[in-house]
Amino acid sequence: MSFFKRLKESIASKTEAVTTIFKEGLSKTRTAFVEKVEELITRRKKIDEEFYEELEEILIGADVGVNTVMKLIDELRAEVKKRKIEDAADLQPVLSEKLVELLKGDDSEKTALRMSGSGITVILFVGVNGVGKTTTIGKLAYKYKNEGKSVLLAAGDTFRAGAIEQLEVWGQRVGVDVIKQQSGSDPAAVMFDAVQAAKQRGVDILLCDTAGRLQNKSNLMEELNKIFRVIQREIPDAPHEVLLVLDATTGQNALSQAKLFGEKSGVTGLVLTKLDGTAKGGIVIAIRNELNLPVKLVGLGEKMQDLQEFDSEQFVHALFAGLIKDQEEPEEDETQQ
């Protein structure tokens, strides 16, 4: 069975609504990346050095990242040799397969958000200002509330003017309470209040906002460590997730931010926002491959339901949707004859 057919069958078991969200959200990347690959394959037909060079350029242009591109091209060369592929058209499913492997990494089971076995699940959000952190928290609160869970929000970004109000607006929109203090308060004190409130009310999930930027990195890490200590004193196995929110439209800058925060800040997973607004969706592949951190959530549009749990198969299927459809049509024609 061909790779695209297997991919389509795997996607068939997933909800059509989610598949549509991925397809629509990645349309800009599909146009900029996959259509260029298809055009290269149609034009060149033969796999030679020039073909690899042009493919390299397309991948780097989609922000797949130089290191990842080099690795990918090396793997493609090896597969071409092994499978004795001569026609460029036969390389497309191989490329798609490699992308799924890169996106899954060694820990595909870790892409689901980790929840507490019993009691309150605490999810902490970190990241610089302007990446869509508060919006992500609001949309995740909406998702959990829709699933019948009780949710509480903690306004831990007490440094940025308007951050508390912004979170309150989301709280009202979604219908969940926000635990807050005055602007300029100690974020760790807000977290203490939030954990106490979550315990008293018996909520299922506590989503915590944090400051995007302090004077320097050591201040930021110090602040985060203080927040960790306060939360862990009250709920020893928390936080269950520390999600670093990145703006996909900033491309390689998002990768630099991820490296800056890194695992030292206790980050357990990544959220990539605004994927619908960029043609450089390849940054997901670069980040996934260059950092030992799973992508947990992706923002694929402005609607509440456009925040989705990351799914490598949905991602690649959405990118290559046109090609999969093209492959189906000849098969259907044959069955009709």
The annotation places the binding site for GTP at 127-134, 209-213, 273-276
Read off φ and ψ for residue 281, nearest 5 degrees: -65, -10
> Where is the binding site, in residues?
127-134, 209-213, 273-276
Question: Which residue in 251, 330, 275, 335 sits closest to 23, CA to CA?
Answer: 275
Query: Which pair of tokens denotes residue 2?
Result: 């061909």
Report how far residue 61's alpha carbon sits from residue 129's, in angstroms, rounded to the nearest whole number: 26
How far is residue 179's CA from residue 321's CA, in Å, rounded to a whole number?
43
